[in-house]
Amino acid sequence: MTLRALLFDVDGTLADTERDGHRPAFNQAFADAGLDWQWDVDLYGKLLAVTGGKERMKHYIEAFRPDYRRPDNFDEMVAKLHQAKTRIYADLAARGGIPMRPGVRRLLEEARAAGLRLAIATTTTPENVTVLLEHSLGPGTQEWFEVIAAGDVVPAKKPAPDIYHYALEAMGLAAADCLAFEDSENGLRASLGAGLKTLVTVNDYTLDHDFSGAAAVLSDLGEPEAPARRLTGPALPGPCVDVAYLKTLHRSQ
């Protein structure tokens, strides 16, 4: 089976967006609305168990704020807070404040040169993806991805496999033609649920997650002068993940 396409998660995989991007944007939106909800770095790590910003806010109230009395229009209020948070996050990303992770640009360029097709499969809001790509990967780079599957286009977010099914269907490809890139247990459950071989690159929030079933688990994709570390999976050919390595993972059992 030939490797034809790469499907990328965004948050935690393309860039470390959560701790210093989404989290402060949520906190700013809460403060602007006069709410005493504040998510510190540790609490946010716990809240990441639930994907999707609106879903995460509801989970926070349910699990951590038994004192909070929900107004009748709670769903509407959460939706408004989330719109405000998205504006704040997009402003931050538009200032180029969220860099791509090591090796991401290098591997994307190599993959394009090798004729691999590219797509995004994420639970975050679509405008967050396009702003991040335009300002951190570079102008016009959203065109590198033939499908950007994001947010509420599917009813069930990761760990459900729906967003991957959606992206595969839009590309007219089978899971067996592709390799997925994820950083979290919820993301891996989603990609494996769609039948995709998956390369995991970890970050501080996901180091301790259960990555059983991943084709490989690495620190990051690596740069020539900043080698990637392998946690599980086939040995790397050198300091970095390259297309030849992706083909090895795609062939693996």
For ligand XBP, the closer CB: 192 or 236? 192
Q: Which does 186 bind (CB under 5 to 8 A by kind): ligand XBP, Mg ion, none?
A: ligand XBP
Long-range contacts of 166-171 (CB under 8 A, 24+ apart): 166/121, 167/7, 167/119, 167/120, 167/121, 168/7, 168/194, 170/119, 171/5, 171/117, 171/119, 171/146, 171/147
Tokens 């806010």, residue?
57
What contacts 77, CB < 8 A, 6 or more positions away?
Answer: 71
Least Å distance, CB 183 to ligand XBP, is 7
Question: What does the per-residue mask of binding to ligand XBP show for 113-152, with x meaning CB under 6 A?
Answer: ---------xxxx--x------------------------
Least Å distance, CB 253 to ligand XBP, is 25
Angle between helices 23-32 and 53-64 (to 10 degrees): 70
For ligand XBP, the closer CB: 9 or 242? 9
Say whether residue 206 binds ligand XBP (CB under 6 A). no
Q: Is 9 a catalytic residue?
A: yes
5, 7, 9, 242: residue in contact with ligand XBP (rule CB under 6 A): 9
For ligand XBP, the closer CB: 9 or 220? 9
Binding piece for ligand XBP, criterion CB under 6 A, among 50-58, 132-140, 206-214, 229-237: 50-58
Say whether residue 187 binds ligand XBP (CB under 6 A). yes
Residues near Mg ion (CB under 5 A): 9, 11-12, 183-184, 187
Say whether residue 161 binds ligand XBP (CB under 6 A). no
For ligand XBP, the closer CB: 18 or 162? 18
* 143/194 Cα distance (integer angstroms): 25
* 101/107 Cα distance (integer angstroms): 11
For ligand XBP, the closer CB: 7 or 236? 7
Least Å distance, CB 17 to Mg ion, is 8
* 95/138 Cα distance (integer angstroms): 12
Binding piece for ligand XBP, criterion CB under 6 A, among 4-12, 66-74, 216-224, 233-241: 4-12
Q: Is 16 a catalytic residue?
A: no
Q: DSSP assignment of 177-217, as one string?
A: GEEEEE-SHHHHHHHHHTT-EEEEE--TTTTTS--TT-SEE
Tokens standing for residue 152: 């509420």
The answer to whether the beta carbons of residues 220 and 240 sit under 8 Å apart is no
Helix, coil or strand: residue 230: strand
Tokens standing for residue 229: 């570390």
Q: Which residues bind to ligand XBP, rule: CB under 6 A? A: 9-12, 18, 22, 51-53, 122-125, 128, 158, 184, 186-187
Catalytic positions, please?
9, 11
